[in-house]
């Protein structure tokens, strides 16, 4: 790197100094919104067209059913037998669907209550398009009913086009209700400060108990990452808006094992019971009039060293509040404290 020195102690380099060598700026980019469709009436599809060519896509699917629906998907309006999927619901054995006319994206089998899915697509024109999705379905309203979860890995066997249209549709013959929405984000290296995800909070632990995001701006979509180090063997409890009532339910699997459930609890358990560092990545759909749905992946270090495998936990949860949005997120250990190096970051968008 060549650096020139200027008066006032300024340093200046050329544009190549900020390039990683593969055409990508060394410090730029973010998830930018490239398409969105929000239904204004009841219909059978949610269609987002005229998408810009982006190498990676991130999808947020907010489904509000009118009758029993599922969340299937087609790309570029291709209804041929050009899709293949592997899927699992509620931790059950994998199923496969090959030479299919659509792919899986959200709750299957069908449901009559709200669903939320977070999905990713790799979008290189000369390669098959790979799609990964995690979903949560509310099921019957109230904390006495645990949610459902789904995992879907699919591909579109097209090797000549990029994805420029995404359609969510249901195979049941019923419809999606008004307010259902598909948001498509593309990874963009333009350094224009137009990132879809706005940072709402960045908080460090203080060594006493858990920690809170503090009051955050209410946003429809929330993305949270937490790294924490408990002082004693404990699991992490997720709460919203300081609500410690029996208003939460969850479904979870540890290390690919059978799902366990919890209902009418005072928190959502999102981690293993351990005293070693834990990392969480989770998304929340935060509609004021609907139960708040959570999709969380977690890894716990376990014993140090490469000879010891970490623990993996997948959790979906819900908070049965239907009158207000989340404006505070709390992470609390079941026992002990969190170290001062623990950190929570919260991003959000409407």
pLDDT in tens, 28-56: 679 999 999 999 999 999 999 999 999 99
| Residue where a domain terminates, one of 162, 188, 214 | 188
Give the span between the Cα atoms of 331 and 242, in whole angstroms.
Answer: 11
Span between the terminal Cα atoms of the chain, in Å: 41
User: Does any domain span residue 49?
Assistant: yes
Position 342 confidence tier, pLDDT thresholds 50, 70, 90: very high
Among 82-91, 125-134, 267-276, 281-290, which is the least confidently predicted range? 267-276
| Residue where a domain terminates, one of 159, 188, 217 | 188
Instruction: Tabulate helix, strand, coil % of the chain (nearest 5).
Output: 0, 50, 50
Domain ranges, residue 289: 198-349
Give the span between the Cα atoms of 315 and 260, in whole angstroms.
Answer: 10
Q: 233-261, pLDDT tens digit by residue?
A: 989 999 999 999 999 999 999 999 999 99
Average pLDDT, rounded, for the chain = 91
Count of structural domains within the chain: 2
Q: 58-112, pLDDT tens digit by residue?
A: 999 999 999 999 999 999 999 999 999 999 999 999 999 999 999 999 977 778 9
Q: Which has more pLDDT, 341 or 10?
A: 341
At residue 180, the pLDDT reads 97
At residue 16, the pLDDT reads 43
Give the span between the Cα atoms of 108 and 171, in whole angstroms.
Answer: 10
Q: Are residues 157 and 251 in the same domain?
A: no
Q: Are residues 78 and 126 in the same domain?
A: yes
Whether cis (ω within 30° of 0) applies to the bond prior to 340 is no
Mean pLDDT of 291-319: 95
Mean pLDDT of 158-174: 95
Q: 306-338, pLDDT tens digit by residue?
A: 999 999 999 999 999 999 999 999 999 999 999
At residue 28, the pLDDT reads 61
| Most trustworthy range by pLDDT among 14-23, 183-192, 214-223 | 214-223
Among 26-35, 111-120, 280-289, 314-323, which is the least confidently predicted range? 26-35
Q: Are residues 143 and 206 in the same domain?
A: no
Burial of residue 6 (number of CB atoms within 10 Å: 0-12, 13-18, 19+): exposed
Mean pLDDT of 151-170: 97
For position 129, which CATH number holds? 2.60.120
User: Does any domain span residue 343?
Assistant: yes
Q: What are phi and psi of 9, to 5 degrees?
A: 80, 15
């Amino acid at each position: 790197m060549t650096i020139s020195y200027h008066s006032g102690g300024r340093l200046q380099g050329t544009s190549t100094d900020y390039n990683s060598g593969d055409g990508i700026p060394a410090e730029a980019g973010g998830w930018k919104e490239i398409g969105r469709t929000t239904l204004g009436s009841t219909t059978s599809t949610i269609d987002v067209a005229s998408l810009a060519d982006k190498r990676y896509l991130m999808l947020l699917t907010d489904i509000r059913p009118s009758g029993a629906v599922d969340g299937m998907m087609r790309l570029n309006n291709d209804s041929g037998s050009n899709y293949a999927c592997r899927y699992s619901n509620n931790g059950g054995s994998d199923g496969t669907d090959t030479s299919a006319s659509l792919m899986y994206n959200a709750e299957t089998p069908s449901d009559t209550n709200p669903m939320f899915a977070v999905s990713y697509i790799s979008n290189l024109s000369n390669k098959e398009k790979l799609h990964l999705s995690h979903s949560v379905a509310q099921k019957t309203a109230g904390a006495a009913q645990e949610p459902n979860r789904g995992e879907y890995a699919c591909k579109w066997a097209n090797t000549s086009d990029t994805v420029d249209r995404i359609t969510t549709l249901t195979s049941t013959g019923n419809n999606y209700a008004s307010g259902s929405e598909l948001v498509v984000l593309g990874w963009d290296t333009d350094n224009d400060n137009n990132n879809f995800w706005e940072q709402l909070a960045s908080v460090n632990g203080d060594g006493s108990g858990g920690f809170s995001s503090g009051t955050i701006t209410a946003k429809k979509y929330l993305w949270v990452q937490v790294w924490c180090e408990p002082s004693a063997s404990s699991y992490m409890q997720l709460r919203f808006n300081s609500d410690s009532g029996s208003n939460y339910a969850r479904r979870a699997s540890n290390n690919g094992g059978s799902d366990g459930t919890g209902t009418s609890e005072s928190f959502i358990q999102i981690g293993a019971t351990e005293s070693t560092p834990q990392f969480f990545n989770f998304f929340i759909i935060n509609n004021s009039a609907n139960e708040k749905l959570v999709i969380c992946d977690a890894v716990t270090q376990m014993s140090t060293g490469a000879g010891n495998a970490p623990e993996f936990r997948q959790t979906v949860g819900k908070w049965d509040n239907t009158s207000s949005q989340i404006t505070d997120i709390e992470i609390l250990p079941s026992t002990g404290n969190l170290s001062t190096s623990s950190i929570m970051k919260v991003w959000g968008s409407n």
